[in-house]
A and B are shown apart, each in its own frame.
Chain A
Amino acid sequence: MVINTQNLTFTFGNQTVVKSLSLQVPEGSIYGFLGPNGAGKTTTIKLLLNLLKTQEGSISIFDLDLQNNRIKILSQIGSLIEQPAIYLHLTGRENLMNRALLLQIPETRVDEMLRLVHLQDAAHKKAGQYSLGMKQRLGIALALLSDPKLLILDEPTNGLDPNGIIEIRELLMKLTGEYKKTVFISSHLLAEIQKMATHVGIINHGELMFQGSIQELEALSKPSVQIETDQAVEAANFLKKNNVNVSEVSDHHVFVPYTSKESMGEINAMLNQNGYMVYSINKQQQDLEKLFLAITQNA
Chain B
Amino acid sequence: MKGFILSFRSEFYKTRKTMGFWSAVLLPLLLCLFVFIGFFYKSDGLINNSSMELWLKFAAPILGVMGLLLMPMLIIFIAYSVNSLEHKADTWKTIFSLPISKLSVYAAKYFYAFFLVFFCLALFVLFTIGFGNLLGVIKPSLKFSEYSIASILAQIYFKFFLASLGILSIQFLLSLLFSDFIKPMGIGFVCVIVGGILAGNSWQYAYLFPYSHPMMAMKALGPAKNGGNHPSAMPHFTVDLLTKDTWVSLVIAVVVFIAGYFIVLRKSVK
Contacts and interface: CB of A to CB of B under 8 A. Distances in A.
B93 A51 contact: yes
Contacts of A77: 97
B98 A46 contact: no
A86 B89 contact: yes
A85 B89 contact: yes
A98 B10 contact: yes
B152 interface: no
A89 interface: yes
Contacts of A85: 89-91, 93-94
A252 interface: no
Nearest to A78: B97
B17 interface: yes
A299 interface: no
Contact of A89 (B9, B17, B93): B17
A79 B97 contact: yes
B99 A50 contact: no
B101 interface: yes
Given A85-B93, A85-B94, A87-B89, A71 B17 contact: no
Q: Which of B6, B17, B99 has the largest number of chain A CB atoms within 10 A?
A: B99
Contacts, number: 65
B14 A46 contact: no
B10 A71 contact: no
Contact of A101 (B10, B89, B268): B10
A50 B101 CA distance: 12
Interface in A144-174: none
Q: Which of B85, B88, B89 has the largest number of chain A CB atoms within 10 A?
A: B89
A101 B6 CA distance: 7
A153 B9 CA distance: 27
B97 A50 contact: yes
Contacts of B7: 102
Interface string A88-100: 1110001001100
Interface string A183-202: 00000000000000000000
A49 interface: yes
B108 to A, nearest CB: 10
B18 interface: yes
B189 interface: no
Given A46-B269, A88-B88, A102-B6, A74 B97 contact: yes
B94 A90 contact: no
Contacts of A72: 99
Q: Which of B7, B9, B96, B97 has the largest number of chain A CB atoms within 10 A?
A: B97
Contacts of B89: 85-88
Contacts of A90: 14, 17
Interface in B187-211: none
Contacts of A71: 99-101
A37 interface: no
Interface in B98-126: 98-101
Given A51-B97, A72-B99, A82-B90, 9 more contacts: A46-B269, A53-B268, A74-B97, A79-B97, A83-B90, A85-B94, A98-B14, A101-B9, A103-B98
22 contacts: A50-B97, A51-B268, A51-B269, A53-B268, A74-B98, A75-B99, A79-B94, A82-B90, A85-B89, A85-B90, A85-B91, A85-B93, A86-B89, A87-B89, A87-B91, A89-B18, A90-B14, A98-B10, A98-B13, A101-B10, A101-B13, A103-B99
